[in-house]
Amino acid sequence: MRLSLQIANRFLRFSKGQTILIALGIAVGVSVQVFIGLLIQGLQDGLIDTTIGNAAHITVSTDDSKGIDNYSQIINDIEGSDLGITAITPSITGNGFLKNDETSEPIFVKGYDLASAEGIYEFADRISEGRLPRSNNEVLIGIGLADNLGVLVNDTTDIFLVDGTLKEVMVVGFLDFNVSVINNGWVVTGIDTASSLFGYENAVGTIEIQVDQVFEADAIGAKVAQIVNNDKLIVDNWKDQNAELLSGLNGQSISSLMIQIFVLVAVVLGIASVLAITVIQKSKQIGILKAMGITDGKASSIFLLQGFILGIIGAALGILFGLLLSYAFATFALNPDGTPVIPLSINYNFILTSGMIAVVSAMIASVMPARRSSKLTTIEVIRNG
């Protein structure tokens, strides 16, 4: 093996231009793989974060107008399970109107245990002005809603429902989620305020859950349903609610995979053709080596080792180029607010796998030239000059 490695290294050094060409071909293929793969993953991560990053992945709700009365026990049971729960909070939601002077706007009231809800919605980071509610009858409203009504921080205003219920509240802050529907319609408050507004007595409307394995939400939801074990409660998950989004993400993944496969095929064919030519070019040297006693197996291993060396060099260069391309794209392709159009997502397992696939592909590409070299005989080389 050591002799084969020395000969393979000498062959590569002797034809430096050819060696550089093959290595660059592999590097281009790997860089395209890494760049496209990381780009698609960054796009998917961005879509997921935008869609459900600050939303419940799993919800437990009920059709009963009285709500979920034993919610504290349910929350304790779910938290005690080993399901990868990252946040869980009770909530009460409902529709109404926010009135200021003679102007009113339709609203969506969301009442939370604000301490536990922070793990899902990160309200503190979304406040553009003011503070979180600290007592009953204090609310946060969307910044667009505040503009429409002309409300300022610490102003008092009224929430009223279609059944005639009226409640005076104090606006203690403005929320900015960078989503017009939320900014123009959400009113966030403590769960006690929402409970008194919608008539819940020691109950809540929904239990909202986030998990660390986002794409396992359906399987985790099924386990939550077993824990809850109540036919009156409905356990739902974001995957069932966002089937079109999942279809789009799957389409992106398949497109990315197809591009990577075609790039690999091109790289393999390129390496195989160049190494096949190398066998012809080096036929005299191979014939001489066989005349000196080198075996067919060792002759084959020379070209297999060439493929391995070229794969290592090309994979290393390709990963470097791919990361540089990804970084450049995330740095220069920006939204008007300065954030990347597609956030940079580094998946080390994917990068390592791409490099390993490149090395294996290079060795596979060298199999045919290796077999051809093993069939060369000294007589054949002498006969053909």
Average pLDDT over residues 360-365: 79
185 plus 279 within the same structural domain: no
322 plus 379 within the same structural domain: yes
186 plus 315 within the same structural domain: no
Angle between helices 16-52 and 2-14 (to 10 degrees): 100
pLDDT for 158 equals 92
**pLDDT beyond 70 at 377:** no
Sequence-distant (6+) residues with CB within 8 A of 241 are none
**pLDDT beyond 80 at 96:** yes
In a domain? residue 238? no
Q: Which two tokens stand for residue 130?
A: 């003011």
In a domain? residue 277? yes
pLDDT for 207 equals 94
307 plus 367 within the same structural domain: yes
Q: What pLDDT, in 10s, does the model give residues 11-44?
A: 677 777 777 887 888 888 888 888 888 888 887 7
Residue pointed to by tokens 């993400």: 249
**Helix H or strand E segment including 91:** strand 85-100
40 plus 170 within the same structural domain: no
Domain edge (last residue) among 204, 231, 258: 231
**pLDDT beyond 90 at 127:** yes
Dihedral, 103, 109, 111, 115 alpha carbons, nearest 10 = -80
322 plus 252 within the same structural domain: yes
In a domain? residue 59? no
Write a three-state SS string for 112-174: ECHHHHHHHHCHHHHEEEECCCCCCCEEEEEHHHHHHHCCCCCCEEEEECCCCCEEEEEEEEE
Residue pointed to by tokens 């879509």: 47
pTM: 0.70
In a domain? residue 239? no
160 plus 206 within the same structural domain: yes
8 plus 148 within the same structural domain: no
pLDDT for 365 equals 76
In a domain? residue 320? yes
Q: What pLDDT, in 10s, does the model give residues 214-263?
A: 888 889 999 999 998 888 899 998 888 777 777 777 777 787 778 777 77
Q: Which two tokens stand for residue 246?
A: 């999942």
Q: Which two tokens stand for residue 329?
A: 């794209």
Give the confidence band of 93 by pLDDT, cuts at 50, 70, 90: very high
Q: In this prediction, what percent of the chain has a pLDDT beyond 90? A: 32
104 plus 150 within the same structural domain: yes
Longest CA–CA span in the chain (Å) reads 105
Domain edge (last residue) among 184, 207, 231: 231
CA distances from 103 to 94, 97, 99, 148, 158 (A): 20, 10, 6, 9, 11
In a domain? residue 151? yes
227 plus 266 within the same structural domain: no
Q: Count the domains in the chain.
A: 2
In a domain? residue 58? no
**pLDDT beyond 70 at 320:** yes
DSSP code at position 187: E
Q: Which domain, by its residues, includes 301?
A: 2-51+245-383
In a domain? residue 38? yes
210 plus 298 within the same structural domain: no
Give the confidence band of 346 by pLDDT, cuts at 50, 70, 90: confident
222 plus 302 within the same structural domain: no
pLDDT for 373 equals 65
Domain edge (last residue) among 198, 231, 264: 231
